[in-house]
């Protein structure tokens, strides 16, 4: 799997951010990735599957949700990887603006 850490920010050209800004950026990346993956998988789910998966989310049962995904969508890790690559590309393109905005 992948790691959302300082090495990722270095790779994306955001190594110059302050520690506080790095934490904010990592949180933003995680939340954006989670939303995009969720939407991508939701497009492939039946209403019944969506209800089942949402029940895990509503209970904050992350291990249960992951097990459910592994069972019902064995390709979900590839969806995560694909969406992360898209997000990394977008961030790399915006890195100079992100650094400039953080410096203000």
| Tens digit of each residue's pLDDT (9 = 90 or more) over 15-44 | 999 999 999 999 999 999 999 998 999 999
Q: Where are the domains of the chain?
A: 50-104
Percent of the chain with pLDDT over 90: 88
Q: How far is CA 19 from the centre of its chain?
A: 20
Q: How far is CA 10 from the centre of its chain?
A: 17
Question: 47-58 vs 62-72: helix axis angle to the nearest 10?
Answer: 160
Q: How far is CA 85 from the centre of its chain?
A: 10
Return averaged pLDDT per consecutive 10 residues of the chain, 104 residues in all. 86 94 94 93 94 93 92 94 95 93 86
Q: Is 89 left (phi over 0), alpha (psi -120 to 50) or beta?
A: alpha
**pTM score, whole prediction:** 0.84
Please tell me whether residue 61 adopts helix, strand or coil conformation.
coil
């Amino acid at each position: 799997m992948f790691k959302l850490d300082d090495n990722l920010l270095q790779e994306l050209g955001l190594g110059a951010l302050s520690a506080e800004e790095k934490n904010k950026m990592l949180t933003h990346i995680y939340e954006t990735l989670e939303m995009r993956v969720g939407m991508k998988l939701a497009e492939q789910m039946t209403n019944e599957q969506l209800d089942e998966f949402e029940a895990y989310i509503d209970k904050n049962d992350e291990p249960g949700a992951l097990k459910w995904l592994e069972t019902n969508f064995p390709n979900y890790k590839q969806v995560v990887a694909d969406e992360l690559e898209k997000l990394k590309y977008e961030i790399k393109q915006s890195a100079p603006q992100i650094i400039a905005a953080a410096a203000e």
